[in-house]
Amino acid sequence: MNFFIGFLIALAVGLTGIGGGSFTVPALVLIVGLTAGEAVGTAFVFAGVLRLIAAPFYLIGKNFHARYLWLLLLGAVPGLLLGTFVLHFLGNQGGNPVVIILLGIMLALTSSVTFVPRAQNPGFAQKNSRWLPWLALPIGVEYGFSSAGAGALGSVLLLNYSEITTPQVVGTDLVFGLVLAAIGGAFHWKFGAINSAVLLQLLGGGVPGVVLGCALARHVPARKLRLAVAMIAILAGAQLVWHGTYALLSNHAPSIAKVMARLQLGR
């Protein structure tokens, strides 16, 4: 099962550059049964390795935008460090249901902009590049806290509010996510919040999956790739909302049971 999960997630990462943390964390918590802290740390390293393999496919073809990448990292790296230390301070409770639900809603709504041309502004980044670090700051904080959403949010931002091509968006986002995963993964490894056995099983399916995804991406038309990125991001957002809601109800299940028991006794 872990091999299959790793393969499917890696295929999405190689094809679109997103899906590493958004899909991995819920899968590790709900299917594999890891704690929130272990899931976040394991997803960090897994996503980092996938992007390390995928990035050269896009860098060799010069499908990335160096300036936008630097501006995004300028804001996201400090946010990542802040989010990681907050996660550690709270005892690795990165799977806070409310945070996950809010992230999922934000991710689904922002990704929907791809299907609303009037809401897009391709010239925004070129004319207002000074805002990119500030827009990337909360992405970094959220990524450090939950290991989800950075790739999808970065892709959505560049797809709808920059002038660069879809392959450049995917390449820029892959390197962006690679740097964040490398830094975040190092801190999580230091904190010991990684399940090595599960990580190796995920990579067993993930390595061939990401290579296949990168190979297929070359044969996918830019418009279809753009729509695929948006659909995967929306799906990731919906999945995060479901995961957060499930966790929230599970956490409050004892309290709900007590209330129901009292009501039955009252009858």
* Domain chopping of the chain, boundaries: 2-266
Q: What is the CA 68 to chain-centroid distance, rounded? A: 19
pLDDT digits (tens, 9 = 90+) for 218-248: 777 767 777 777 787 788 778 778 877 877 7
Average pLDDT, integer, range 185-199:
75
Q: Is the predicted pLDDT of residue 260 greater than 50, yes or no?
A: no
- Average pLDDT in the chain: 79
Find which of 70-84, 107-121, 137-151 is predicted with most confidence, using mean pLDDT: 70-84
User: What percentage of residues in the chain have a pLDDT greater than 70?
Assistant: 83
Q: Is the predicted pLDDT of residue 255 greater than 90, yes or no?
A: no
More confident residue, 92 or 154: 154
Q: Is the predicted pLDDT of residue 251 greater than 80, yes or no?
A: no
Who's near 33: CB < 8 A, 6+ residues apart?
Answer: none
More confident residue, 75 or 86: 75
Structure token digits, residue 49: 């390795």
* Cβ(107)–Cβ(210) below 8 Å: no
Residue whose structure tokens are 């809601």 = 245
* Cβ(5)–Cβ(205) below 8 Å: yes
pLDDT digits (tens, 9 = 90+) for 17-33: 777 777 787 788 778 88
Tell me the C-alpha distance between 94 and 87, whole Å: 6
pLDDT digits (tens, 9 = 90+) for 77-104: 998 888 877 766 665 555 567 777 777 7
User: What percentage of residues in the chain have a pLDDT greater than 90?
Assistant: 13
User: How wide is the angle at C-alpha 89 spanned by C-alphas 187 and 99, nearest 5°?
Assistant: 90
Q: What does the pLDDT read at residue 93?
A: 52
Tell me the C-alpha distance between 114 and 109, whole Å: 10
pTM over 0.75: no
